[in-house]
Structure 1
């Protein structure tokens, strides 16, 4: 076929359809797509051709191959295009002046750079599209090609990529695009194909490979290269769990979701919005360095039409995601990269360097920086890296699979910088004290020069020196600078850099001992300056999330500076307030290890640390560790001289913490005695209406409730509520907690409608004040569901709400957290009651096993859980097994709580029913009679448990052929049930049908 000749340049636009081959480097894939789409919308045909010919192929031949297709060839030019291969300027000048000039009618070009192109590119008459809007770019494109625009563009099927100069609507701190990114085109295109072809809601791919192999660079290039395909691109760094949660939760603000809620709420809201494709289904999430697949359910939107890209060293992701193994560069990629960065070296020399460093991208970047910046010849460079022995790095700074010559290369660079740019080494010394990853280095610019060591005062005074030092480190590929929006107009203090963990390890080794104590003090001061001093303010949690990773890396716990110690305590307070209990407990343990070496046991910072550490352990379910810590502190305090009020305050705080531990561990009597002491001391020290006294009184009610003294607990809670409304106002979180407590007391007292009315009001206030995902709000919602269930709310409403709440609980805490286990139990009881025995059994078994692990077997909660297991067996027809469970639970609770505790009485009700079904009628009769008498005495005549015992006892009387007695007891029970709960309440209806009542255990730890 003879190619159709093009008209001479400057000829009038033609109206007929033409064919264009759009040729682009992979780096400009978005431009190739946009150009092709615009040409097709005007009725023309296009072929997209990603172009990176082998270096060995002559340019004339490669360009000739492009002309094998009919039509004109449109080259997408930039400095990236002219480096493909790589090719020298001489290569391009020769082919442009020769072959291209001879076939000029077949070639056209667009220019995407503001840099000066080779003079010979003038033969292509490239039209400049750099930095202009879409409408003008389209006009210039059509005019250059001599095409007449259509008045009504041809509709294009499918999705059209956005104009490349227009960023996505939401762009979440993706690392700056690496202008030196090379190769990996096959991987990037395969990634795009995998994500596009994945089933709806399952487009998740994980890049797996060793450290320094280039996973993050590939992910960042993917985000930039394919950005026009997305409306939302959000990057999440996963170095630390709290940083990961905070960054992911920040997307809620960008999506226009509720920004006032707690971090767990924002995480859930983001996941749900993306799952529902709100506000767009074209979204991309990138999780960089995510090593824990078990947390996938918390973050990944299982649904929606967006894409998720993960980078990790953990191959376990293959169980839940598509895996793409990332290996070293192909040799052609390695040599091409080296020759572009160091144009003076030959292909053979580039091959030698690539072989020396095993084609590892991170090390090639450093080698290329050295060769390119210094202009060093390859033989000399290789001789140096092979010939220098480094004995200082035996500590394993580099991974085992890295070539040893890498260490020498980094050492050479550092020695060079010490001579040519010593201030860059000063910055490296600072970076080495931080943790790897993101380093808020710019904060050092905010420290007054007088407060810096003499050799570092230039940081505060020499802005140009600061810029030069950073640029040197970037040029040598030691760090990258983050693309972050400056805050407060101070670009220097907003400077953040990224240092790869391998580079950080080597630099730390090579700079150790160089003013290390002095440098650490500077970093500590920097961390103090970065502390917002507001750990309970959720708006500041992002700042704290950035601080925490650097605390241990910088040895901050070893500092004796008071301000550093207060900053550390604030970070622990943040961990507690934000729900980062495990992270906080680990940090607290590390701080304690240092502080105990130089602080007296009675020093205020150490006492505060103990309180915070105990709180974190307790909330994380590590009750025995908290108890050991608090008991040891109280014992030390009691051994001290009782000199002043400070002692009494410290002892009171320690006693309160220990009482909380003992309540959780099931030692209710001892805990109540200690809490009564706390209340007495607090009232004497502060008065009865001060917030500390009211907190002590609140905890006293918890102890009373655990002992089954519901009316005493209610009286105490009601008094606390009234005083908190006066002192703290109605919307204070502590006041809301008292409202929760009062509603719980009313429910346990059997006053279901009153409990429901109070809890509904409390729930509305919790949502307004704390947000839907705050731990206290979740507890309030749990209590509301129990109130609704007891009051007779329709079944389906409760079932749906419990399922949703269980999911939220897992996100905020974990599946094994004690509050989640409690909800799991109540949900299982509800399902069993309504016939879903399989799921009920699964939930109740998991909850019982979880409580047993947390609390041990000799605890009231796992003991009482056996009664719930018995109800499952009984519903399945396993009467003997059920009775065995009931008897074990009854014996255990009688021993642990006594025969008159409401939990023991409820279990006795179930046991009498099990005996009745097992035809041990006389034993059933004796137990139901004894239980009824105890319930009347402990809970009162009209309590629902008492009335249930009456109904059960009537059934046992009838079985013993005492029909008149049975009729009298039954009649009284029905009358009382109708009066207290209503004629249509399910308890009343069941009693009327002579269905034997049961009791399901609701676990409560306080």
Structure 2
């Protein structure tokens, strides 16, 4: 939950009671009708205190919601993605990756922690956008929204401005001097509250202003406010909200606070307004102003923006502008000399961050950048004109890799598609960034098993790179390698081999013999030879690749684990079980250490070790590993991935060897169905499983 900045919460006691009653009534309605969820909305104009009321309710009822309080910001990005990320981070849930985002969200709701649950959706502008992601019909779930809109069919608590007496109490709480200035100028204090339209945000700003200026009378304060005439275009969206007196008052209060800021304070506020309407990690702000002293920036933040109530502290090192203040600062930014510089600086910082997001981020890396993603999306959606041609694709690629690494393919695909479209539009169809975009989109499709969609994109990328960069370039080698990998996955070995050989030769020529990409090419060519049964040719390539990975990357790296696993698999295929086992175990330990317990590579490693134990007759050791591998593949890759089919086939073969035919047959059928649909009826894997199933059925017929 966000942190509360309220000194004393006054004037909303009745609303708190009404809100709790509203949710309880809805809960009772669920119990009686069993067809809806307990949902309520706090509705009202900007600055009226909707978020604070929701926060105070959540704080008061914290012990009631033993199943947890999930506080989300719909405007920070897709609400479905936020729910899944919350469940993964705080509840350790892992929805299947082949599910679409709605199905993943429903998976999380079904497995949510026991107890009453409160879901708070702060600042909802479109109910239809969030409705598909709401919890299922259950009396233990309650949904609380804050909104400036009216949603038909949703129980709403209309939050109005404060009553005059409550407004006066709020002003008094902000000016706790004895004797109180409010009491000394009571009539003027009432006029001041009225002029501010009894709006909490305006009262907070003015109260804090007066608290700093102890010698300023309320009479003079009111005069200053009335003299302010701010162009209201920056808050034009608020004009239809029904209380222009309050809006004029709060605008004047903003303007007074603005005038109290020094130039550098104003500049920082304007820079903050360029970020998305979401929590802002402070280190991003510091990176945007590399020439500024960090302590000076902290002083401006703490002594000015926070002290003037112009900025909210959301968490340790995380801050956010109120939406109205963000619009106000954006309006002021239009007249700022540094506006262009700030926009380019933000773009520079976010591009650098995007470049640091790996293609396959692990959970820790995902956590580290999650708060940054809305701001990266803000750059991609609204500031691409300030990106250089060289940096253009990174705002899109960073977002795509963030989602792709979590298996959220439906969320990654639009970013890859948009990247390709934007690149073509600005750079033309014949540009290296277009080739990169084609390659990235193809890789996404390949990871989903959509080989027919991936192939033409890989081919286009290769043609374009050759045309633009010549035949001797590292990008051409990468493209050759990727296309070869696709052919290998399809069982088209004769087409894959010459491309792998070309890629290896080119990488050696351009990068030297001691480079990670050369090791990868050696490894990939060895994989192909092993798939063809050419074990004597594969072994020296595997050994060279592993030695290079060790030498270049150190002992603890995922590629070292990959090299160990692949060499072990070769020995296993040759019946060299005593040589394979320690390598399989080393690979599994390393994968778990580097990638965590829940990663596709861990599942593959478990599966391989299980196969080894099975071949050695260690059935009691093999079976639990086969089952773990299958469960992990299902969880991480979804039920339609070829790796799941491989795990199904392996477990089925294990059951068959123990004459557990009734358990084996349905697993073979599932595996065959996946392989036929994903890889085609003539793929070697498909042919193998079809043969296994036929042999099983022949065995059953013979026994009968």
Distance 1:524 1:746, change over 3 A: same
Give me the whole-angstrom Cα distance separating, in 2, the residues matched to 1:466 and 1:224: 25
Match of 2:279, SS?
strand
The Cα of 1:446 is off from its aligned counterpart by: 5.3
Question: Which residue in the other structure is 2:643 paired with?
Answer: 819
Give me the whole-angstrom Cα distance separating, in 2, the residues matched to 1:551 and 1:570: 8
Question: Which residue in the other structure is 1:497 paired with?
Answer: 320
The Cα of 1:659 is off from its aligned counterpart by: 1.3
The Cα of 1:664 is off from its aligned counterpart by: 2.6
Distance 1:467 1:445, change over 3 A: farther
Of 213, 225, 230 in structure 1, the residue corresponding to residue 60 of structure 2 is 225
Correspondences of 1:629-644 after superposition (within 5 Å): 629-640=457-468, 642=470
- The answer on 1:663 being equivalent to 2:480 is no
The Cα of 1:220 is off from its aligned counterpart by: 4.1
Question: Which residue in the other structure is 1:481 paired with?
Answer: 312
Match of 2:315, SS?
coil
Distance 1:759 1:458, change over 3 A: closer
The Cα of 1:406 is off from its aligned counterpart by: 5.4
Distance 1:841 1:504, change over 3 A: farther
Of 417, 423, 443 in structure 2, the residue corresponding to residue 589 of structure 1 is 417
Match of 1:310, SS?
strand
Question: Which residue in the other structure is 1:809 paired with?
Answer: 633
Question: Which residue in the other structure is 1:340 paired with?
Answer: 166
- The answer on 1:766 being equivalent to 2:575 is no
Per-residue CA deviation, residues 834-889 of structure 1 (Å, 9 max, x unaligned), is 677777666555555544554455644456554455567x3xxxxxxxxxxxxxxx
Per-residue CA deviation, residues 706-757 of structure 1 (Å, 9 max, x unaligned), is 3344454345324433454455454432222122112222333455565445
Distance 1:371 1:715, change over 3 A: closer
Match of 1:696, SS?
helix
The Cα of 1:594 is off from its aligned counterpart by: 2.7
Match of 1:496, SS?
strand
Question: Which residue in the other structure is 1:794 paired with?
Answer: 619
Of 194, 198, 201 in structure 2, the residue corresponding to residue 369 of structure 1 is 201
The Cα of 1:186 is off from its aligned counterpart by: 6.0
Give me the whole-angstrom Cα distance separating, in 1, the residues matched to 2:686 and 2:243: 56
- The answer on 1:706 being equivalent to 2:539 is no
The Cα of 1:548 is off from its aligned counterpart by: 2.1
- The answer on 1:560 being equivalent to 2:387 is yes
Of 106, 128, 131 in structure 2, the residue corresponding to residue 314 of structure 1 is 131
Per-residue CA deviation, residues 119-158 of structure 1 (Å, 9 max, x unaligned), is xxxxxxxxxxxxxxxxxxxxxxxxxxxxxxxxxxxxxxxx
Of 432, 435, 455 in structure 1, the residue corresponding to residue 276 of structure 2 is 435
- The answer on 1:674 being equivalent to 2:483 is no
Distance 1:627 1:746, change over 3 A: same
2:603–2:630 contact (8 Å) kept in structure 1: no
1:174–1:235 contact (8 Å) kept in structure 2: no
Give me the whole-angstrom Cα distance separating, in 2, the residues matched to 1:787 and 1:369: 67
Question: Which residue in the other structure is 1:548 paired with?
Answer: 373
The Cα of 1:596 is off from its aligned counterpart by: 3.3
Distance 1:602 1:533, change over 3 A: same
1:652–1:681 contact (8 Å) kept in structure 2: yes
Per-residue CA deviation, residues 740-775 of structure 1 (Å, 9 max, x unaligned), is 112222333455565445323432333334432233
Larger relative CO (CA 8 A, sep 6+): 1 or 2?
A: 2
2:446–2:454 contact (8 Å) kept in structure 1: yes
2:312–2:321 contact (8 Å) kept in structure 1: yes
Per-residue CA deviation, residues 69-117 of structure 1 (Å, 9 max, x unaligned), is xxxxxxxxxxxxxxxxxxxxxxxxxxxxxxxxxxxxxxxxxxxxxxxxx
TM-score (norm 2): 0.67
1:207–1:311 contact (8 Å) kept in structure 2: no
Give me the whole-angstrom Cα distance separating, in 2, the residues matched to 1:853 and 1:504: 54
The Cα of 1:785 is off from its aligned counterpart by: 2.0
Give me the whole-angstrom Cα distance separating, in 1, the residues matched to 2:550 and 2:539: 16
TM-score (norm 1): 0.49
Correspondences of 1:876-891 after superposition (within 5 Å): none
Of 690, 693, 705 in structure 1, the residue corresponding to residue 518 of structure 2 is 693
Correspondences of 1:392-541 after superposition (within 5 Å): 404-405=240-241, 412=248, 416=252, 419-422=255-258, 430=271, 433-440=274-281, 443-444=284-285, 447-448=288-289, 463-464=299-300, 467-469=303-305, 481-485=312-316, 494-497=317-320, 520-527=343-350, 533=356, 535=358, 539-541=364-366
Give me the whole-angstrom Cα distance separating, in 1, the residues matched to 2:39 and 2:392: 39
Of 564, 567, 570 in structure 2, the residue corresponding to residue 742 of structure 1 is 567
After TM superposition, the structure 1 stretch with the greater mean CA deviation from structure 2, 766-775 or 580-589, is 580-589
Question: Which residue in the other structure is 2:227 paired with?
Answer: none
Match of 1:437, SS?
coil
Question: Which residue in the other structure is 1:884 paired with?
Answer: none
Distance 1:765 1:627, change over 3 A: same
1:418–1:425 contact (8 Å) kept in structure 2: no
Question: Which residue in the other structure is 1:894 paired with?
Answer: none
2:273–2:329 contact (8 Å) kept in structure 1: yes
- The answer on 1:683 being equivalent to 2:519 is no
1:215–1:311 contact (8 Å) kept in structure 2: no
Per-residue CA deviation, residues 264-307 of structure 1 (Å, 9 max, x unaligned), is xx766xx9xxxxxxxxxxxxxxxxxx98463454687567x665
2:446–2:486 contact (8 Å) kept in structure 1: yes
Match of 1:482, SS?
strand
Correspondences of 1:746-757 after superposition (within 5 Å): 746-752=571-577, 754-757=579-582
1:434–1:550 contact (8 Å) kept in structure 2: yes
Per-residue CA deviation, residues 294-335 of structure 1 (Å, 9 max, x unaligned), is 3454687567x665433464366454744446555556x757
Unmatched 5+ residue regions in structure 1?
A: 1-172, 199-204, 253-265, 272-289, 346-363, 377-387, 452-456, 475-479, 486-493, 875-912, 919-994, 997-1006
Give me the whole-angstrom Cα distance separating, in 1, the residues matched to 2:555 and 2:362: 19
Of 174, 185, 200 in structure 1, the residue corresponding to residue 17 of structure 2 is 185
Per-residue CA deviation, residues 608-656 of structure 1 (Å, 9 max, x unaligned), is 555555444433444444433321121123334748xxx4222111111
The Cα of 1:665 is off from its aligned counterpart by: 3.4
Match of 2:509, SS?
helix
Distance 1:374 1:739, change over 3 A: closer
1:827–1:840 contact (8 Å) kept in structure 2: yes
Question: Which residue in the other structure is 1:294 paired with?
Answer: 104
2:106–2:135 contact (8 Å) kept in structure 1: no
Give me the whole-angstrom Cα distance separating, in 1, the residues matched to 2:665 and 2:53: 46
Distance 1:341 1:611, change over 3 A: farther
2:565–2:605 contact (8 Å) kept in structure 1: yes
Give me the whole-angstrom Cα distance separating, in 1, the residues matched to 2:420 and 2:650: 38
Give me the whole-angstrom Cα distance separating, in 1, the residues matched to 2:406 and 2:388: 26
The Cα of 1:341 is off from its aligned counterpart by: 3.8
1:753–1:791 contact (8 Å) kept in structure 2: no
Match of 1:420, SS?
helix
Per-residue CA deviation, residues 437-481 of structure 1 (Å, 9 max, x unaligned), is 323467435544879xxxxx999779458754456665xxxxx72
Give me the whole-angstrom Cα distance separating, in 1, the residues matched to 2:21 and 2:624: 43
1:841–1:869 contact (8 Å) kept in structure 2: yes
Structure with bigger helix share is: 2
- The answer on 1:782 being equivalent to 2:607 is yes
Correspondences of 1:851-862 after superposition (within 5 Å): 851-855=675-679, 859-862=683-686
2:278–2:374 contact (8 Å) kept in structure 1: no
The Cα of 1:695 is off from its aligned counterpart by: 0.7
